[in-house]
Chain A
């Protein structure tokens, strides 16, 4: 079970690192202010 989790984390981190920039978190919009978009993005991630 431990090995599975480790493998998952290894693979997952690499995939997420690549995928993140492609928009895993897509809450921010090209429209609206940086303040509005970043606040919404970061607040949403905390929940």
Chain B
């Protein structure tokens, strides 16, 4: 694994341990490239909020203005024998719904209904990066509750629609390049591939084995919800930019007030809930700090109370499927990135180790 931490001023820790591919030569290094999966979401959310700042996207306008296909989204209300029963949603989906995971979309990883729907309709999972994978139904009306899903892929589509560019190109020009994130992309370059770690899975014996899982490199759409490859150092530049309220590497990529807006609860009284697995090989049940109320800002989870690790109330955080994690504590001016490449998500060892690392960071500050 790779772990890094930063204050507003600079990196305070970086370390890398283990191997890029179990059983093969090649040690993990701090510049190892990994699939950051859903840690992509905060970057796509940032791209969308840049366009909100510019008045090119709006948080509370029907999102179908920029992504017309969203007007066709239907709510799954039940099953008639083996056929899904759907109806029109009570209200239109907005960018706010998408960035807060309250639009009604879900992931098959945590939804037996969605697995059934995909099977009946012959729709591949979102990781296929095929456009048809974006046509899965809503599980409830927009705005009615929180459900982790393909929302940010749609937000990425909106960025493409407004900018006229592929998502990766937009992000490269407006986020990665200004911040100096030179090892972050949807498409793995040969230079990145030379430092790429493989994704490993726990077998029935509990031991990890390498897999050939890789996000499609010639995708129909670039998966703003989870398609990026990056390094700990690159992601830490993003974390530090948020800590510095929009500036990094001498460049401003967001206004301070936009960072403040992204860092506040943006979904009313709805709370983040536990993700109950529907695919145990890929994910365990997952909830950060169980029992603690958690909100969602404009692309980050927010813990309402101080965490046992030392993380302040109101901090920002999220994660990626292959046990990649980050947190940003604006109150204490510290954040960190912890990357592994192992499945299932919320792994029995990897997640507690992330908490322990985070706790060590706070202990060093006390």
Q: A residues bordering B, Cβ < 8 Å? A: 5-6, 9-10, 12-14, 16-30, 33-35, 37-39, 41-43, 45-46
Q: Select one of B3, B284, B288, B307 contacting A42, CB under 8 A.
A: B3
B interface, how many residues as a size bin?
35 or more
In the complex, A45 Cα to B355 Cα: how many Å?
13
- Interchain Cβ contacts under 8 Å between A and B, 5 examples: A14-B274, A17-B289, A21-B309, A41-B356, A45-B349
In the complex, A25 Cα to B354 Cα: how many Å?
10
From B274, B287, B288, B352, residue with most partner A Cβ within 10 Å: B352
In the complex, A27 Cα to B18 Cα: how many Å?
18
Binds A, one of B9-17, B56-64, B133-141, B181-189: B9-17
Min CB distance A28 to B, Å, is: 4
Q: Contacts of A30 on B, CB cut-off 8 Å?
A: 363, 366
Interface assignment of B361: CB less than 8 Å from any CB of chain A = yes
Q: Select one of A14, A19, A20 contacting B285, CB under 8 A.
A: A14
Q: Contacts of B286 on A, CB cut-off 8 Å?
A: 13, 17
Interface assignment of B88: CB less than 8 Å from any CB of chain A = no
Q: Contacts of B348 on A, CB cut-off 8 Å?
A: 9, 12-13, 16
Say yes or no: B356 contacts A25, CB within 8 Å.
yes
Interface assignment of B162: CB less than 8 Å from any CB of chain A = no
In the complex, A30 Cα to B309 Cα: how many Å?
12
Say yes or no: A42 contacts B363, CB within 8 Å.
no
Secondary structure of the A side of the interface? helix
In the complex, A35 Cα to B353 Cα: how many Å?
16
From A10, A27, A41, A42, residue with most partner B Cβ within 10 Å: A42
Say yes or no: A18 contacts B291, CB within 8 Å.
yes
| Chain B 1-32 interface mask (CB, 8 Å, partner A; 1/0) | 10101000000110101100000000000000
Q: Given A9-B348, A16-B348, A20-B355, answer yes or no on A37-B284 (Cβ-Cβ < 8 Å).
A: no
Say yes or no: A46 contacts B17, CB within 8 Å.
yes
Q: How many Cβ-Cβ contacts under 8 Å join chain A to chain B?
A: 110
Q: B residues bordering A, Cβ < 8 Å? A: 1, 3, 5, 12-13, 15, 17-18, 204, 274, 276-277, 280, 284-291, 307-309, 344, 346-349, 351-357, 359-361, 363-364, 366
Q: Contacts of A43 on B, CB cut-off 8 Å?
A: 17
Min CB distance B340 to A, Å, is: 10
Say yes or no: A13 contacts B349, CB within 8 Å.
no
In the complex, A33 Cα to B15 Cα: how many Å?
13
Which 4 A-B residue pairs are closest in the complex by CB-CB distance? A20-B352, A25-B356, A21-B308, A13-B284
Q: Given A10-B284, A13-B285, A38-B3, answer yes or no on A20-B356 (Cβ-Cβ < 8 Å).
A: yes
Q: Contacts of B1 on A, CB cut-off 8 Å?
A: 42, 45-46
Say yes or no: A20 contacts B351, CB within 8 Å.
yes
Say yes or no: B357 contacts A13, CB within 8 Å.
no
Q: Contacts of B307 on A, CB cut-off 8 Å?
A: 21
In the complex, A17 Cα to B276 Cα: how many Å?
14
Q: Given A37-B360, A41-B360, answer yes or no on A17-B352 (Cβ-Cβ < 8 Å).
A: yes
Closest chain B residue, CB of each to CB of A6:
B280
In the complex, A13 Cα to B366 Cα: how many Å?
29
From A13, A30, A33, residue with most partner B Cβ within 10 Å: A13
In the complex, A20 Cα to B307 Cα: how many Å?
11
Q: Contacts of A5 on B, CB cut-off 8 Å?
A: 204
Q: Contacts of A10 on B, CB cut-off 8 Å?
A: 276-277, 280, 284-285
Q: Contacts of A12 on B, CB cut-off 8 Å?
A: 284, 348
Q: Contacts of A28 on B, CB cut-off 8 Å?
A: 356, 359-360, 363
Q: Contacts of A20 on B, CB cut-off 8 Å?
A: 351-356
